[in-house]
Structure 1
Amino acid sequence: MAQQTTHLGEKIKRVREMMGVKQDALAIELGDDWNQKKVSMLEAKAEIDPALLEQVANALKVPKEVIENFDTEKVFNVFSNHNTYNDASFIVNGTNNYAANDYLDKIIELHKEKEALFERMLKEKDEMIARLERMMENK
């Protein structure tokens, strides 16, 4: 059995990837002082300040315990073993566990939120292009 990692940056990366969120999109959710490179550097850190971990969890719209207790092997087992899914075994360990069904519902909900975020980003990009075009016309 593989040893579970306590590397929080790696766990953030795995949760982010499972949710289909790119580093750029996470940076946007974290705020103006964040960018893709800063997210990459965060994911390289083994230890992360609890307040920052909470901020990242909020940006990913998951409880911080999902990140803290994330176990890749258990996630794999849930998705590869139909019996595990059917009896709603747990994906993460700890006191705040998500049953497989609840976790899958949460992933679907987060995917919808991610789509809405991308739509907002595209709209903002289009608005910015229109503003730049108007500025160029006025010169």
Structure 2
Amino acid sequence: MSTLTKPNHIGRKISRIRELKDMKQEALAQAMGTNQQAVSIMENSETIDEEKLKEVAKALGVSVEAIKNFSEEAVFNIIGNTVNNHDNAGFFQYQPTFNPLDKLMESLDENKKLYERLLKAEQDKVEYLEKLLKEK
């Protein structure tokens, strides 16, 4: 096993970022205004010129620095540190900042007031119609 550090393979980093964004080479090529073969060649290249790297970054929706500093280990560390259970239930836990029963009671009070206003309006209509009938 060699103690030399791995080369900074920009093409491989672009490929991984594209895959993490669930993007195919064809989609990246279209966003860059080129073809799939050019993207494939670029992803197999160890180095890429700055202008091409800026185009790629724009098409992927990331910064040039994000591509240059991309690391699989960092991605796995972030995922490992933010997901602490494997049943996905943690993603959907809802903890309101209010008491749900209080909100329910407020809603019931509002409905009651609305009902009383509607009832009063109907009573007023009945009185008005009775008054019209008596006048005839």
Tell me the TM-score normalised to structure 1 length: 0.54
Q: Which amino acid aligns with 1:65?
A: E
Task: Say which of 3, 10, 13 aligns to 2:12.
Answer: 10
Partner of 1:57: 57
Q: Which amino acid aligns with 1:10?
A: R
Flag the structure with larger Rg.
2
Distance 1:70 1:4, change over 3 A: farther
Which ranges in structure 2 are unaligned for 5 or more consecutive residues? 85-136
User: Percent identity, aligned pairs only?
Assistant: 44
Q: Which amino acid aligns with 1:48?
A: I
Query: What is the distance in 2 between the residues matched to 1:83 and 1:22?
Result: 27
1:82 CA drift (Å): 3.0
Query: What is the distance in 1 between the residues matched to 2:46 and 2:81?
Result: 30
1:83 CA drift (Å): 7.7
Partner of 2:36: 36
Query: What is the distance in 1 between the residues matched to 2:36 and 2:15?
Result: 12
Structure 2 residue matching 1:21: 3-state secondary structure: coil
Superimposed CA distance per residue, residues 27-48 of structure 1 (whole angstroms, 9 cap, x where no aligned partner): 00001xx111110110000010
User: Where in structure 1 do 4 or more consecutive aligned residues deviate above 4 Å?
Assistant: none
Partner of 1:22: 24
Query: What is the distance in 1 between the residues matched to 2:51 and 2:36?
Result: 20
Query: What is the distance in 1 between the residues matched to 2:82 and 2:6?
Result: 23
Query: What is the distance in 1 between the residues matched to 2:20 and 2:83?
Result: 21
Structure 2 residue matching 1:81: 3-state secondary structure: helix
1:81 CA drift (Å): 2.3
Structure 2 residue matching 1:62: 3-state secondary structure: coil
Tell me the C-alpha RMSD between the 2 structures. 1.8
CA contact (8 A) 1:29 1:59 kept: yes
Superimposed CA distance per residue, residues 34-91 of structure 1 (whole angstroms, 9 cap, x where no aligned partner): 111110110000010011000100111111111000000010111022389xxxxxxx
